[in-house]
Amino acid sequence: MPIYEFRCRACENIFEKLCRLSDAAPPRCPKCGSEDTARQLSLVVAPTGGAEAAGAGGASGCSPRKGFT
């Protein structure tokens, strides 16, 4: 089951919920209990792969500038 990000329209709380695609109704807000919640578009973070991503560039997959110390 994927994790979805939701925003409560009543209190603007943003929360995550493990949901099935077949779930019809959005979940209640855990902060205020409102049923007026909407699923948000979430960014997917994925490694870029290759040796450079696992090396000195850190988790972002970016490598340091040449000549920069």
Rounded Cα distance between 56 and 65, Å, is: 11
In this prediction, residues 1-24 reach a mean pLDDT of 88
Alpha helical stretches, state H, 1-69: 50-54
Number of neighbours of residue 12 by Cβ within 10 angstroms: 10
The predicted pLDDT at position 31 comes to: 97
Whether residue 6 is predicted with pLDDT greater than 80 in this model: the reply is: yes
Q: Could you report the per-residue pLDDT of 44-60, keeping only the tens digit for each?
A: 677 777 655 555 544 44
The predicted pLDDT at position 20 comes to: 81
Is the pTM of the predicted complex or chain greater than 0.85? no
In this prediction, residues 16-42 reach a mean pLDDT of 89
Average pLDDT value for the chain:
77
* Domains of the chain from N-terminus onward: 3-42 (2.20.28)
